Amino acid sequence: MGRNEERIVSWKSVLCSSKNGHVIENKTLCDPTMYRVNMTPHIRTGTSYKVYPTYDFACPVVDSVEGVTHALRTTEYHDRNAQYEEMWKMSLGSKQSDEYKLPNVWGYSRLNFKNTVMSKRKLQWFVKEGHVDGWHDSRMPTIQGLFNRGLTLDAMREFVYSMAASRNIVNMEWDIIWTKNKKIIDPECGRYTAISTKGIPFILKDGPPLSARTVHIHPKRPELGTNTIFVNNKILVEPEDADSFTEGEEITLMNWGNAIVEKKIVGDTGDIIGLEGRLHLAGDVKKTKKKISWLADTNGKFAQCRATLVTVGNLITVPNLTEDMNLEDVVNRNSWTKTEVYAEPAIRNLEAGMIIQFQRRGYYIVSLISLEQNVPIEERGPELVFIQIPDGKEQKPRKA
């Protein structure tokens, strides 16, 4: 063998080989990094230390010292399991004692969700670039973010229990967990009414003057209490409902009774700008096709209580994020959609974190309360902000 050939063989053995010259197939055992230099002051120890152990070196040592018997690691660390064992042998394995034992490493697959970023490093980018308000933002797949979006602890626990441990990589839909969540919150949350600020006035010729009436906060659970709602001869209905009515049609006003639409008033642009009709409280609510939500006009103003309803979207526009994708190219810039509404006065009694249902709109969690008591009601901004809670079904867009 010539000198050049010897150099090539020697070089290959240096690239990745054990002390006896045998080639090591597992590259994680080739000169692994055990410490790193970090000059950034530590939040607790300040500048006392400049050198820190790497994750690969620290894990087997800390697990063993703390008495961990089984270390659960996702399958992406499978090639590092041999390194885990070697690091333990180098640091603690030589001690002639039963005090430190090598933990058993058990691998399981990483749970991924579609249209979701699960990498902490990449989520940090969303925070740093201002695409979200922080790690607690309702669009973030963090524990706090999910809770702020209305996910309950019981639903999360039930979802985890239903998932069997597997080594197969799974890309799941969020619908599964939100469907479980709906089953938990539906029997407990009160029902309220919210109408778009672009709602259409409906004049009831034989309607009563402004008056209050009491209704159950939950139609199937009277034990949850009651609400006070207002009725009047002038009410507000949703624009899409007004568009769908035909003259002479009998409809049901939820929590009140039936009414007959006698006239649709059309503006210069061809849009419906008003309705006229009369009550028919003796009518059978089971025979009408349309059950609509509504709000009574109080003292000539519909702005009883203003609120903002927020629909939260996915952070990214692609189902699965790959390493070659640029986050800037796939970020969803329409992940926070707001709708301004009028709501019944009873929502002023709600507290942040409470979960309710706006009838025919969906489930919401109270995110923010900001009452402007010293400002005239017609000039007030939104008093409450509600985050929509997914129910496991595809959300249909509706008019603002």
Pairing of strands 200-204, 234-237: antiparallel
**In this predicted structure, what is the pLDDT of residue 65?**
92
Task: Say yes or no to pLDDT of 371 above 80.
Answer: no
Do 244 and 230 meet the contact criterion of CB atoms below 8 Å apart? Answer: no
Task: Say yes or no to pLDDT of 315 above 90.
Answer: yes
**Backbone angles phi and psi of 197, in degrees to 5:** -65, -10
**In this predicted structure, what is the pLDDT of residue 110?**
81
**Model confidence at 14, in pLDDT bands (50, 70, 90)?**
low
**In this predicted structure, what is the pLDDT of residue 111?**
83
**In this predicted structure, what is the pLDDT of residue 11?**
58
H/E stretch holding 292: strand 291-292
User: How is the beta sheet containing 200-204 ordered, strand by strand?
Assistant: 291-292, 250-253, 257-266, 272-279, 200-204, 234-237, 294-296
**Backbone angles phi and psi of 378, in degrees to 5:** -70, -15
Task: Say yes or no to pLDDT of 400 above 70.
Answer: no
**In this predicted structure, what is the pLDDT of residue 13?**
57
The DSSP result for 5-72, as a single string, is HHHHHHHHHHHSB-TTSPBPS-GGGSS---EEE--SPBTTTBTS-SEEE-HHHHHHHHHHHTT-SEEE
**In this predicted structure, what is the pLDDT of residue 131?**
95
**In this predicted structure, what is the pLDDT of residue 353?**
93
pLDDT (average), residues 164-192: 91
| Angstrom distance (rounded) from CA 27 to CA 7 | 22
Do 136 and 142 meet the contact criterion of CB atoms below 8 Å apart? Answer: yes
Of 27-36, 91-100, 132-141, 160-169, give the lowest mean pLDDT range.
Answer: 91-100
**In this predicted structure, what is the pLDDT of residue 395?**
61
Do 253 and 290 meet the contact criterion of CB atoms below 8 Å apart? Answer: no
Task: Say yes or no to pLDDT of 96 above 60.
Answer: no
**In this predicted structure, what is the pLDDT of residue 132?**
94
pLDDT tens-digit readout, 31-80: 888 999 999 999 999 999 999 999 999 999 999 999 999 999 988 888 89
In 3D space, the residue among 230, 223, 212 whose CA is nearest the CA of residue 190 turns out to be 223
**Model confidence at 377, in pLDDT bands (50, 70, 90)?**
very low
pLDDT tens-digit readout, 317-334: 999 988 889 999 999 999
| Angstrom distance (rounded) from CA 297 to CA 280 | 19
Do 250 and 283 meet the contact criterion of CB atoms below 8 Å apart? Answer: yes
**In this predicted structure, what is the pLDDT of residue 383?**
65
In 3D space, the residue among 269, 346, 327, 295 whose CA is nearest the CA of residue 129 turns out to be 327
pTM check: above 0.75: yes
Query: How far does Cα 354 stand from its chain's mean position?
Result: 15
pLDDT (average), residues 214-221: 94
In this structure, the number of other CB atoms found within 10 A of the CB of residue 205 comes to: 11
Of 119-123, 161-165, 211-215, 315-319, give the lowest mean pLDDT range.
Answer: 161-165
Of 47-61, 154-168, 281-295, 369-383, give the lowest mean pLDDT range.
Answer: 369-383
**What does pLDDT average to over the chain?**
88
396's tokens: 């249909």
Secondary structure in 3-state letters for 104-145:
EEEEECCEEECCCCCCHHHHHHHHHCCCCCCCCCCCCCCHHH
Task: Say yes or no to pLDDT of 374 above 60.
Answer: no
